């Protein structure tokens, strides 16, 4: 029974490898890369690089207009976010929340350090050290 299943699976895998299309990679006149299903002929199509796309090459007019409109809306959203930054009481609330988060992280760091000092199972050491490093990174980045 196993032999029959093995033979059927081998035949299926062999059929997939035979049916897989071949892709040829050639270089174009400008040094760009061409990909084709036939060997480097007239049917090869261009593979555009990211630098060419960023420069606007190969984009239709409608795509360029869409990108400009999207950038315009993003700039508008950024300026609105900058205007709505917290001030006064809201800033004090945020500062209080951040101080609370820092206190919680310090407690968590103390707890992890205590576990590392008091002993732990063999498989827990790496995880505890990673948690300690994460807590320390957070405290360095957000707490003074």
C-alpha of 137 from chain center:
21
pLDDT of 55 reads 53
The contacts of residue 32 (CB under 8 Å, 6+ apart) are 46, 47, 48, 49
Other Cβ atoms less than 10 A from the Cβ of 38: the count is: 11
User: Is residue 23 very low, low, confident or very high in pLDDT (cuts 50, 70, 90)?
Assistant: confident
Percent share of the chain, pLDDT over 90: 32
Render pLDDT for 64-89 as a digit per residue (tens, 0 to 9). 899 999 999 999 888 887 777 666 78
Residue 39 near residue 50, CB atoms below 8 Å: no
The contacts of residue 28 (CB under 8 Å, 6+ apart) are 34, 44, 46
């Amino acid at each position: 029974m196993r032999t029959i299943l093995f033979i059927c699976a081998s035949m299926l895998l062999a059929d997939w490898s035979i049916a897989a299309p071949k892709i040829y990679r050639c270089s174009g006149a400008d040094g760009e890369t061409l990909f084709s299903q036939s060997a480097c002929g007239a049917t090869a199509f261009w593979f555009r690089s990211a630098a060419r796309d960023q420069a606007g090459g190969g984009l239709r007019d409608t795509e360029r207009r869409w990108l400009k409109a999207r950038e315009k809306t993003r700039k508008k959203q950024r300026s609105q976010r900058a205007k709505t930054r917290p001030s006064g009481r809201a800033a004090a609330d945020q500062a209080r929340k951040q101080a609370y988060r820092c206190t919680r992280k310090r407690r968590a760091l103390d707890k992890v350090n205590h576990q590392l000092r008091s002993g732990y199972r063999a498989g827990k050491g790496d995880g505890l050290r990673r948690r300690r490093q994460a807590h320390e990174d957070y405290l360095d980045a957000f707490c003074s």
